[in-house]
């Protein structure tokens, strides 16, 4: 593979990883964990095989970053990092070997929502979700009501922060579903996420839809070396089981013990956390950009059960993908009863030779959609039927197109009714137009009735018109119209998300704004080549965006949105940093390439390259991903090979070390 091909592939993988992280964060994952992990693994391997590659925004180097709602965020006192994952004994052994002579603790890894709970002089100050790890979303008032076991005060002076996991107990989940058969919660983890963002926490509590908080981490002014769980319990928190483990063998035994207790717990677990027992040692071990070094998440293999495949249907997704959906005899796997499962894509259906009537293995890991991993050939009776792929869209009858390595089927008809409703729901969703007052059921009803066909139709709805519907009162109608009206302030980034352009993730929307596009129409006019020239937008994504905007009906819709007074222009917070105001340093106006590892000159803490690049840009520099004749300065951190600096020198590019770069940034007032 040439470097250019590898670079493209890496960017493509990074974009896919970002997209799936976004879907996961919103509680609608499309991939099972194993498939997602395979994407990360592929990117990791590619970067290892091509050390010359420079990925300006490498998702492997930063924690998961779901979109945050501005204004409701809070900067975490220290980053809330996810843990490094391990699935093999060799990884476990390597982890323990890193800390000779240290002992560990092993606890069940709860499958819930991570929360940071801060207290000041004993009183609850705030509750925040993990968010992107650096900034979390404030949840204080909601959490107070719906999260049981969250101490309202603690008997400790100064600033104290407790971290833990809010979960919906399986008994609570089952009781809720029993009482609400018309609107069941799919699984405890999604239910926990949904409860935390529910509009009415009071209604949740009244319906018995509550969460429980389990604490496992404590920051207090006087960091002792005692047992954290004991401290937490004494402060009034519930903590999960803790198994002390003096060495690797004891860690293995504890992991096995937790696995054996798994079915007895009233909460879902997806693994075990192995952590340095000493709090001082844990803090001293520090963290890299994505994970603390002193802890490891052991993942149990996915649960698997057998059942019978009864039928395969082909629903049409929001952006037109027609996916195989398996209907199976109900089976209890991974803490939930499964009746529908994913078959991934047509290629896997063919490769695994799965037939209707087969005994199939259903796998479920964590909270992802259960999927069929294979069929049991020995159980065949001869009556099994092959799965027939549709040739036309089951919703609109348009001939389907085969795309991608999974040989996925796509309906490319933008007027396809199945997609229209999903597009409308997506447009109204929190990450796009955020029409909080307009529920999914109403969108379906209005679409069914012909009142809504495309996003611009929302803006023509009036209270008078809505009141004509059964079960629609004055208050609801007024609230819906007000919510739609507020959403007119959309802005370019959210508009791009709302349009659900195939292959264009939320990250792509952000990058288009940073690339300097001011209006949606400018992006619609841009050619695939122009789009591809934008940092971290690969050729496939560029093609897809340009093909999308090439459709006449899309142009019409943009015009209709404008006519309805919807703001489709870039908002200030999405604009690139204003570099013109930066102080005069050699960085101002320079084209820089950043390579190697960076550390804060004062604390010695590792600084991720994207963060360095961002500071340089704020100082007025433009950054490029590789050295060329147009580069002004190569900023070389630690561990930079001679090949790179030699090439720069040959091209007459100035090479400076990180010390110089930090001095310039200080002169520019950036640190």
Burial zone of 145 (CB within 10 Å; 0-12 exposed, 13-18 middle, 19+ buried): middle
Tokens found for residue 2: 């040439």
The residue among 205 and 554 lying less far from Zn ion, judged by its C-beta, is 554
The residue among 309 and 416 lying less far from Zn ion, judged by its C-beta, is 416
Sign of CA dihedral 91, 93, 98, 104: positive
Q: Give the HSE-up count for residue 455: Cα atoms under 13 Å, Cβ half-sphere.
A: 37
The residue among 124 and 396 lying less far from Zn ion, judged by its C-beta, is 396
The answer to the question of residue 395 lying near Zn ion (CB under 5 A) is: yes
CA distance 323 to 173: 29
Least Cβ distance, residue 417 to Zn ion (angstroms): 7
544 is in an annotated binding site: no
**Residue 463 CB partners (closer than 8 Å, separation 6+):** 474, 477, 478, 480, 481
DSSP at 458: G
Which secondary structure element, helix H or strand E, spans residue 217, and what is its range?
A: strand 211-219
The answer to the question of residue 421 lying near Zn ion (CB under 5 A) is: no
Using the contact rule CB under 5 A, the part of the chain among 127-135, 202-210, 326-334, 409-417 near Zn ion is 409-417
Using the contact rule CB under 5 A, the part of the chain among 270-278, 403-411, 610-618, 656-664 near Zn ion is 403-411
222 is in an annotated binding site: no
Least Cβ distance, residue 398 to Zn ion (angstroms): 5
CA distance 152 to 239: 16
Q: Which of 68, 148, 259, 396 binds Zn ion (CB under 5 A)?
A: 396
The answer to the question of residue 668 lying near Zn ion (CB under 5 A) is: no
41 is in an annotated binding site: no
Nearest 10 degrees: CA dihedral of 42, 45, 49, 51? 100
Please choose, from the candidates 535, 519, 511, 615, the residue with its C-alpha nearest in 3D space to the C-alpha of residue 569. Answer: 519
Catalytic residue among 85, 109, 445, 510: 109
Binding to Zn ion by CB under 5 A, coded x per residue (else -) over 566-605, reads ----------------------------------------
3-state SS, one letter per residue, for 528-547:
HHHHHCCCCCCHHHHHHHHH
Least Cβ distance, residue 560 to Zn ion (angstroms): 21
Least Cβ distance, residue 416 to Zn ion (angstroms): 3
The residue among 277 and 420 lying less far from Zn ion, judged by its C-beta, is 420
Q: Which of 393, 503, 531, 566 binds Zn ion (CB under 5 A)?
A: 393
183 is in an annotated binding site: no
The answer to the question of residue 416 lying near Zn ion (CB under 5 A) is: yes
Binding to Zn ion by CB under 5 A, coded x per residue (else -) over 341-380, reads ----------------------------------------
CA distance 304 to 375: 12
393 is in an annotated binding site: yes
User: Contacts with Zn ion in 120-179 (CB under 5 A)?
Assistant: none
3-state secondary structure of 404: coil
Using the contact rule CB under 5 A, the part of the chain among 59-67, 396-404, 475-483, 510-518 near Zn ion is 396-404
- CB distance 259 to 300 below 8 Å: yes
CA distance 532 to 542: 5
The reply to whether 109 belongs to the active site is yes
Please give the C-alpha separations between residue 20 and each of 109, 145, 152, 324, 578, in angstroms, as whole numbers.
22, 31, 36, 19, 31
Task: Say how many residues touch Zn ion, by CB under 5 A.
Answer: 7
DSSP H helix total and E strand total for the chain: 24, 28
Q: Which of 235, 302, 411, 592 binds Zn ion (CB under 5 A)?
A: 411
The answer to the question of residue 420 lying near Zn ion (CB under 5 A) is: no
Least Cβ distance, residue 618 to Zn ion (angstroms): 46
C-beta neighbour count of 44 within 10 angstroms: 13
Tokens found for residue 229: 């769980």
Using the contact rule CB under 5 A, the part of the chain among 151-159, 337-345, 350-358, 394-402 near Zn ion is 394-402
Using the contact rule CB under 5 A, the part of the chain among 115-123, 143-151, 386-394, 548-556 near Zn ion is 386-394
Tokens found for residue 278: 């000493």
CA distance 275 to 270: 16
Using the contact rule CB under 5 A, the part of the chain among 9-17, 70-78, 404-412, 613-621 near Zn ion is 404-412
The residue among 187 and 395 lying less far from Zn ion, judged by its C-beta, is 395
Dihedrals phi, psi of 477, to nearest 5 degrees: -60, -45
In terms of phi and psi (left: phi > 0; alpha: psi -120 to 50; beta: otherwise), the region of 271 is left
204 is in an annotated binding site: no
Q: Which residues of this protein are in contact with Zn ion, per CB under 5 A? A: 393, 395-396, 398, 411, 413, 416
Q: Which residue ranges make up the annotated binding site for Zn(2+)?
A: 393, 396, 411, 416
Q: Which residue ranges make up the annotated binding site?
A: 33-37, 82-83, 130, 165, 299, 393, 396, 411, 416
The catalytic site residues sit at: 109
């Amino acid at each position: 593979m040439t470097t250019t091909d590898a670079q493209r592939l890496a960017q493509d993988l990074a974009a896919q990883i970002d997209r799936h992280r976004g879907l996961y964060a919103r509680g609608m994952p499309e991939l099972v964990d194993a498939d997602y992990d395979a994407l990360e693994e592929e990117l990791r391997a590619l970067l290892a095989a091509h050390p010359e590659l420079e990925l300006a925004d490498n998702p492997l180097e930063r924690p998961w970053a779901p979109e945050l709602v501005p204004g409701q965020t809070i900067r975490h006192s220290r980053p809330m990092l996810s843990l490094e994952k391990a699935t093999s004994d060799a990884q476990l052994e390597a982890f323990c070997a890193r800390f000779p002579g240290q002992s560990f603790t092993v606890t069940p890894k709860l499958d819930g929502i991570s929360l940071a709970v801060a207290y000041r002089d004993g009183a609850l100050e705030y509750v925040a979700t993990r968010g992107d790890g650096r900034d979390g979303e404030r949840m204080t008032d909601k959490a107070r009501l719906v999260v049981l076991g969250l101490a309202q005060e603690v008997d400790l002076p100064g600033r104290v922060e407790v971290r833990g996991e809010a979960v919906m107990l399986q008994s609570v989940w089952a009781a809720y579903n029993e009482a609400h058969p018309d609107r069941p919660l799919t699984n405890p983890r999604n239910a926990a996420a949904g409860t935390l963002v529910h509009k009415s926490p009071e209604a949740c509590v009244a319906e018995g839809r509550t969460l429980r908080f389990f604490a496992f981490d404590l920051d207090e002014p006087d960091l002792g070396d005692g047992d954290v769980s004991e401290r937490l319990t004494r402060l009034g928190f519930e903590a999960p089981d803790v198994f002390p483990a003096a060495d690797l063998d004891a860690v293995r035994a504890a992991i096995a013990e937790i696995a054996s207790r798994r079915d007895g717990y009233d909460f879902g677990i997806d693994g075990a956390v192995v952590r340095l027992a000493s709090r001082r040692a844990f803090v001293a071990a520090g963290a890299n950009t994505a994970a603390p070094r002193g802890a490891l998440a052991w993942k149990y293999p996915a649960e698997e059960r057998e059942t019978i495949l009864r039928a395969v249907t082909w629903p049409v997704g929001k952006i037109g993908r027609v996916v195989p959906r398996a209907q199976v005899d109900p089976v209890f796997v991974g803490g939930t009863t499964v009746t529908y499962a994913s078959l991934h894509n047509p290629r896997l259906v063919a490769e695994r030779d799965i037939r209707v009537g087969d005994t199939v293995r259903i796998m479920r890991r964590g909270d992802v959609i259960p999927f069929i991993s294979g069929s049991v050939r020995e159980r065949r009776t001869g009556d099994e039927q092959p799965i027939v792929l549709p040739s036309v869209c089951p919703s609109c009858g348009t001939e389907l197109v085969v795309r991608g390595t999974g040989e996925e089927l796509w309906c490319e008809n933008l007027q396809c009714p199945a997609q229209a409703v999903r597009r409308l729901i997506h447009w109204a969703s929190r990450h796009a137009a955020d029409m909080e007052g307009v529920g999914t059921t109403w969108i379906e009803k209005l679409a069914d009735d012909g009142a809504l066909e495309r996003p611009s139709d929302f803006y023509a709805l009036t209270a008078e018109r809505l009141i004509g519907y059964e079960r629609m009162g004055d208050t609801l109608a007024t609230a819906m119209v007000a919510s739609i009206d507020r959403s007119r302030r959309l802005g370019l980034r959210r508009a791009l998300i709302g349009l659900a352009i195939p292959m264009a993730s939320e990250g792509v929307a952000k990058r288009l704004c940073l690339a300097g596009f001011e209006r949606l129409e400018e992006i619609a006019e841009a050619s695939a080549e122009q789009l591809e020239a934008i940092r971290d937008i690969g050729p496939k994504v560029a093609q897809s965006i340009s093909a999308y905007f090439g459709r006449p009906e899309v142009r019409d819709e943009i015009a209709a949105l404008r006519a309805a007074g919807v703001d489709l222009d870039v908002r200030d917070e999405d604009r690139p940093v204003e570099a013109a105001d930066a102080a005069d340093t050699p960085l101002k106006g320079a084209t820089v390439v950043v390579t190697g590892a960076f550390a804060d000159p004062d604390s010695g803490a590792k600084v991720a390259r994207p963060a360095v690049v961002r500071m340089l840009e704020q100082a007025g520099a433009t950054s490029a991903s590789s050295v060329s004749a147009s580069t002004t300065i190569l900023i070389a951190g630690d561990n930079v090979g001679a090949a790179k600096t030699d090439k720069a020198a040959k091209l007459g590019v100035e090479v400076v070390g990180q010390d110089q770069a930090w001095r310039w940034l200080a002169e520019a007032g950036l640190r």
